[in-house]
Amino acid sequence: MKKTKIRVLVAKPGLDGHDRGAKVIARALRDAGMEVIYTGLRQTPEQIIETAIQEDVDVIGLSILSGAHMYIFPKIIQMLEEKDMSDILVIAGGIIPNEDISELKKIGIREIFTPGTDTKRIVEFIKSHIAVA
């Protein structure tokens, strides 16, 4: 049986305070019929994981523009593995240089959406990976 709604956690890890993108994407996902949990700024990896568990999300979307992604993302992926939650689709966006993208994809970030990405693409990507009724 398939569930009716895709649930997405949009998270801003670390100290970065730029949330324009995260908020625009949250709205776009909502307009595409998804339930979006947005938890605001300064999320620690622990908070992100715990929220993902309690809300039983299908997708975690990480938004970061401060350059701290190479430290924070692997931490989050590692914690997901430890909690046996690697089936959650993890995607990311923000200011992430190309050379880091291949590294991050290797450790388990399924797709990275850089500046200028059409929100439709993000919606389609999620919908093509998560089956709903």
Q: State the residues that interact with another protein by CB under 8 A.
A: 1, 3-5, 7, 14-20, 23-24, 26-42, 44, 46-47, 50-51, 53-56, 66-72, 83-85, 95, 97-99, 114-116, 118-120
Report the length, in residues, of the chain: 133
Residue closer to another protein (CB basis): 19 or 108:
19
Do residues 120 and 89 make contact, with C-beta atoms less than 8 angstroms apart? no
Residue closer to another protein (CB basis): 106 or 133:
133
Residue 115 makes CB contacts below 8 A (sequence gap 6+) with 95
Residue closer to another protein (CB basis): 37 or 129:
37
Which residue type, as a one-letter code, is found at position 118? Answer: D
